[in-house]
Structure 1
Amino acid sequence: MPEYPTALGASSLDKITLLGQDLATDVMGEVGFGELAFWLATQRRPTRGETRVFEAVLAALADHGFTPTAIVTRLTYLSAPDSVQGALAAGLLGGGSRFLGVTEDCGRFLHDVLAAAECGYPVNEAGWDTLALATVRSQREAGRFIPGLGHHVHKQGDPRTARLFQIATEEQLFGPHLSLFAAIGRVHPQILGRTLPLNGAGVCGAALADLGLPLDLLRGFALLARTAGLIGQLAEELRNPVANDIFLSVDLNNKPVPPRSTRSTRSEAAIATHHPAA
């Protein structure tokens, strides 16, 4: 018979093991959910500091009000109240390059820059600023945005950013990805001619990368956090429904127009200048 080895969950007649632990006696009531999620992804138990930073990231990404992911979850539940899983899945499927996906995009971007650094990591703030200047200049010359730079609401500064920097510093987990991102925040006005905030989703990506979590899973952690937020959206929808009002506001105010073969210039311009956010 074939064998399928796993260090994750396995069951026998009278026992369930998880990560080499007895689920009932060693995990349940002993390990927090954030700690367990980190442990499952890395197959090593995080330190207290790693757990604090990781759970701060989850909290930062859980819910931001009536975002597209929240709205589509509520509308899907309105359409199919018999399918909670469908409503949650609809919201999670919206986690992409403009919402939530910035976490992965920023982490990958910073990782690629660091991997290409020819002289290793800088040893002081001036060195990080030099690397950041070269990075921003290169992106500008190539006509590319820097993931995690800019926010459509928090134009004067994302409140999550400073707090995540603080927590990572307190836990001595302010690593190279956060250092580079912080430097980008300091120097980019010299190249771009304007000041943009470091958005929270980008900082979350830098923090997760500094924790050594797999880059391929960074968006997954953002979706893990948002799942809790979407459950909250559904719970509030049950208590104080708004989905039908959202639906009717569109349905009763639609305006028939002649077909057009291309999108309007205004719409294309809006897409081109949109800064991703969480």
Structure 2
Amino acid sequence: MADQDTAHGTAHPPADNSTGRRLSTREAADRLGVKPETVYAYVSRGQLTSRREPGSRGSTFDAKEVGALARRGGRREPSASGGEFAVRTGITLIDRDHCYFRGVDTTELAANYSYEEVAEWLWTGEMRRGIRFAAPPDPLTSARRAVQALPAHAGPMDRLRVAVIASAAADPLRFDLSEDAVLNTARSLIPTLVDSLPQQAAEQHETTPLAPRLWSRLASAPADAASLRVLDAALVLLIDHDLAASTLAVRVAASARAHPYAIVSAGFGALDGTLHGAASGLAHRMLLEVLERGSAAAVVADHLRAGRRVPGLGHRLYRGEDPRARALFRLLEDVPLARPALQAARQVITTTARHAELHANVDLALAVLTVSAGMPAEAGETVFAIARTAGWIAHAIEEYDEPPLRMRPSGQYQGPRPPQPLP
């Protein structure tokens, strides 16, 4: 599974063992899995070299060069499912209602390792038990000052967006895109983002794992061990999820060789919205309303009557229940304070099932956690953003190894044909 394209299940093209033979345009296109015109686009971008043989009417291509491009992930064509780009990646596979990081089931990773351990393994391939991420003093001071300058009504995502920019300004080496430098940036940026948020509960030492530190920024009440286990598992499960909108934005920025802070800023920009990172906030508010009114049926009916989707239900990549939601619901059963919100979520699921076969997704499970802990509605989006930062770094590292500026689709011009009169 680690050798397949995420979500599409397309195997990597085999290595080309031929020597000296030239390929026709059609043969090169077949090996790359693209259209012939795309082969010429690779030539124009400098990714392939072509040669016209004496007496030949068409261009020819070196078989080894074509094979190398195929192995690097040269394929970037609309998929058969409807015009989406298929970008070769070795990070996440979603297949048959399961999600895998580098071939390992994400629910098993969440059950056995911490967020920092999984992030480090995803970046380097090494599982370092007990690793802790710490924020360097200068970037953290810069980030905190910038966050404190925001108006009182600023939300957590406003603070994170400012914190990442301030951290970048404090790092003169941010333009070093070598893998070691990018990894060092990642290990310091993630805890800087967490520690720059205003404290709500008792202060946590910087050597404390990330989950308790994040909890103290989102909830005023201290967490028990079971609640922290849910939060840490949520962070692991949300690290990556194939080429979601924010991840695609990150890869485009990385393709243009933006530094790691800039690619995280690009991810934050695409994350903002109720169709992506903020979806758990809608589910949070819905569960509060169910608990207040004592009836999931009335709340679901209001959503349907208004023509709105019921938050926290359904996912385009899963036919059944989102495996991330299933794992979190299982852990939430061990949290006594979560029982009312958990019951409300199950009532929403069963009520909606009378009208449509929709299953719970991770946003609903995340909302159960944030409601039961007394966190604000934006807390789920904050958890999502912190978790996904590790996945964005993994994608950036992968994209930095690709030819630059490859993430540039061609526009299909639909305007008036030239020449047109001067307006």
TM norm structure 2: 0.47
Residue 270 of structure 2 corresponds to residue 94 of structure 1: yes
Give me the whole-angstrom Cα distance separating, in 1, the residues matched to 2:239 and 2:233.
Answer: 10
Encode CA deviations 1:86-143: one digit per residue, 9 max, x unaligned. 111111111121112111111122113323x1xxx5xxxxxxxxx2222222221222
The partner residue of 1:225 within 381, 387, 393 is 387
The partner residue of 2:236 within 59, 75, 85 is 59
- What is the aligned partner in structure 2 of residue 105 from structure 1? 282
Contact 1:71–1:243 (CA under 8 A) maintained in structure 2: no
What is the deviation of 1:157?
Answer: 1.8
Residue 372 of structure 2 corresponds to residue 210 of structure 1: yes
Contact 1:103–1:219 (CA under 8 A) maintained in structure 2: yes
What is the deviation of 1:70?
Answer: 0.6
What is the deviation of 1:35?
Answer: 0.9
Contact 2:255–2:406 (CA under 8 A) maintained in structure 1: no
TM norm structure 1: 0.70
Give me the whole-angstrom Cα distance separating, in 2, the residues matched to 1:137 and 1:40.
Answer: 35
Give me the whole-angstrom Cα distance separating, in 2, the residues matched to 1:182 and 1:20.
Answer: 33
**Residue type at the aligned position of 1:168:** L
Which structure has more helix as a fraction of its residues? Answer: 1
Instruction: Say what the alpha-carbon RMSD is for the aligned residues.
Output: 2.5
Contact 1:92–1:226 (CA under 8 A) maintained in structure 2: no
Unmatched runs of 5 consecutive residues or more in structure 2: 1-147, 149-198, 417-423
Contact 1:73–1:234 (CA under 8 A) maintained in structure 2: yes
- What is the aligned partner in structure 2 of residue 160 from structure 1? 324
Give me the whole-angstrom Cα distance separating, in 2, the residues matched to 1:20 and 1:134.
Answer: 39
**Residue type at the aligned position of 2:250:** T
Residue 357 of structure 2 corresponds to residue 195 of structure 1: yes
- What is the aligned partner in structure 2 of residue 146 from structure 1? 310
Task: Tell me which stretches of 4 or more aligned residues in structure 1 moved more than 6 Å.
Answer: none
Q: 1:141 to 1:43 in 2, by over 3 A?
A: closer
- What is the aligned partner in structure 2 of residue 79 from structure 1? 256
The partner residue of 2:412 within 240, 255, 258 is 255
The partner residue of 2:407 within 229, 241, 246 is 246
- What is the aligned partner in structure 1 of residue 338 from structure 2? 174
Q: 1:217 to 1:162 in 2, by over 3 A?
A: closer
Encode CA deviations 1:131-180: one digit per residue, 9 max, x unaligned. 22222222212222111121111122211122111101123343322221
Contact 1:63–1:229 (CA under 8 A) maintained in structure 2: yes
Q: 1:72 to 1:143 in 2, by over 3 A?
A: same
Q: 1:152 to 1:217 in 2, by over 3 A?
A: same
Identity of aligned pairs, percent? Answer: 22
**Residue type at the aligned position of 1:93:** G
**Residue type at the aligned position of 1:146:** V
Give me the whole-angstrom Cα distance separating, in 2, the residues matched to 1:242 and 1:45.
Answer: 48
Encode CA deviations 1:230-254: one digit per residue, 9 max, x unaligned. 122222323x53774432xx13xx3
Give me the whole-angstrom Cα distance separating, in 2, the residues matched to 1:155 and 1:198.
Answer: 11
